[in-house]
Amino acid sequence: MALAYETMKGIFEKHGEPVPSYRSVVRFARRFDEDHHDLVVLKREGEKALKDKVGPYIARNDKLLSVGDVIFCDGKVLNFQCIHPTTGKPFRPTLICWYDWRSRMPVGWEIMPSENTIAISSALHMAIGTLAQYPRCVYIDNGKAFRAKYFSHIDADFEEFNGLYARLGIAVQYSRPYEARTKIVERFFRTFDEQCERLLPSYVGNNIDNKPAWMKRNEKYHEATHNEWVPTLREASEIFRLYAWWYGQQAQDDLGGQRPLDLLQGGLGDGVDLTELDRHFLFRQKIHPKRCGFTIGNVRFESDALYGLNKELMAMYRWSDMSEVYLHTMDGERIGTARPTEALHPLARLFGDELDLIKVQEANKRQRQLKSATMKLVKDFDAEVGESGLQSLPWMRQESVPLKAVPMPKAVQAEPVMDDVERERLEALQAKVRQLPTSTLEIPDFFPSELEKYEWCFEQTVKYGHELPAEYQSFMNAYEASKEYETATGARFEQLRTFYLKQNIAR
């Protein structure tokens, strides 16, 4: 006010105008503010302050909602430091929190180094499990991670490629930019800072003016007595869990003196199918496999189920566990699984160890089996089609001229003569061989998948003629009756069955 008065005084004196007293100017400014407060706020603080401080607000009656109807989500950079999982240095991680509007209770959260799609989806998975139902609507921030294709994409042709919210049947409401009053979770974040964060030894504040005493210069006493403990991300998540449990047991005036935890427990759903829930949360990506494999995240995956396929497929996976990728057709039918491949030793026979040699042998065996299956198919096809195609085009036909040569008679091979002594010796030798004990069947302790288990059982019974225990025979019967065998793997095994039977007959 004093600076404004001095400026006005200089302008008035320059133009020869009488200068009012300082008290008169102050009284005028106060009367003007009383009658035109909107103009004062707009000129001094801007449009956002005008909307937040002067404009009316809409009162929303959250008692018309039920638990799980609307859940809010937002991210917050924590005001205390944690140990970075990669560098090992202190840093401020990000809290992703899903907050139920009706009960005013946090229902799902994740603490990660940054705000990303994986953290948001993981926290939402936890929120649905806590609510025991799918929320009807999510009220989310406008951040880039919240608007990711994984959440909001709509595919008119293939429903499986829709975003997560569309697959779960959840309506989406985005908050207006730079309007914290539309997100009640912001109020919870301030409460968490006041009641929990500032009590931790690694608290650093959210701005320069809010720094604790031990971080300021020349504060030797606080610096000497400061506790140097910095939690890990796992410890920080446990701290938030304990605080959320305590927060839910505190009565709140906004809830009419009720406790958030009581409201939440009174409105939980009937439960959700966890298998279906996990499937919905899998990341989806279109792939076009080549040579039995494809690449996701700079990692190559391979599967025998991709052999011979030259079309787009859908890969479903989770970033937290990339040991297995589920393969589906564009119609949603599962055809198998793919696993990461391992580069083998280039000269395993000369410089590798026994394990390297075994891996190379298994890879060569796999290539031979797939090739032999294709060769068997093409030979059967040629046998059915016969002499056709390019071999029988009209302009390629030639008149056949019968040969007059006389065929030579085939030489008759005389049967070997065996006397009685030699015959008795061979019969005795065969009797001894039949009395030798047979080798026991070595069954692996673990099979990575049902397909590999069935492949092992198939080789033992069909290729080698071994007799399996009853439980493995029952497993083979059950797998042969499954949808996977009928639509994806059955044709290959039936071809191998015919091939092995012909080999055994030839022997």
**Do 192 and 82 lie in a common domain?**
yes
Nearest by Cα to 140 from 113, 111, 108: 108
Closest CA to 488 of 270, 337, 276, 290: 337
Asked if residue 455 belongs to a domain, the reply is yes
How far apart are alpha carbons 202 and 219 in whole angstroms? Answer: 16
Strands 334-340 and 299-302, how do they pair? antiparallel
Token pair recorded at residue 440: 């026991």
Sign of CA dihedral 130, 131, 135, 137: negative
Alpha-carbon distances of 319 from 10, 61, 118, 283, 284, rounded to whole Å = 68, 40, 8, 8, 11
The DSSP secondary structure of 336-352, one letter per residue, reads: EEEEE--PPPTTHHHH-
pLDDT in tens, 388-428: 555 555 555 555 555 555 555 555 555 555 667 777 776 77
Residues 306, 28: Cα–Cα separation, whole Å = 83
pLDDT in tens, 488-498: 788 888 888 88
Q: Is position 171 within any domain?
A: yes
Residues 23 and 92 in one domain: no
Phi/psi at 94 (nearest 5 deg)? -115, 135
> What beta strand segments (E) does 206-355 contain?
283-287, 293-296, 299-302, 313-318, 321-328, 334-340
CB-side exposure of 355: number of CA atoms within 13 Å?
Answer: 1
Residues of the chain scoring pLDDT < 50: 433, 436-439
Q: Say whether both 334 and 201 belong to one domain.
A: no
Tokens matching residue 298: 């700079």
If asked whether residues 47 and 187 sit together in one domain, one would say no
Regarding pTM above 0.85, the answer is: no
Statement to judge: residues 166 and 252 lie in one domain: yes
- Report which of 350, 206, 366, 188 is spatially closest to residue 293, judged by C-alpha positions: 366
Q: What is the pLDDT of residues 319-361, one digit of tens each?
A: 767 788 888 888 777 888 888 886 655 665 666 666 767 767 7
State the residue range of the domain holding 489. Answer: 446-507
379 domain residue, yes or no? no
For the segment 197-218, what is each residue's pLDDT rounded down to a tens digit?
999 999 998 888 888 888 888 8
Evaluate whether residue 396 is within a structural domain: no
Total structural domains within the chain: 4
pLDDT tens digits, one per residue of 463-474: 887 888 888 888
**Residue corresponding to tokens 């009162």:** 59
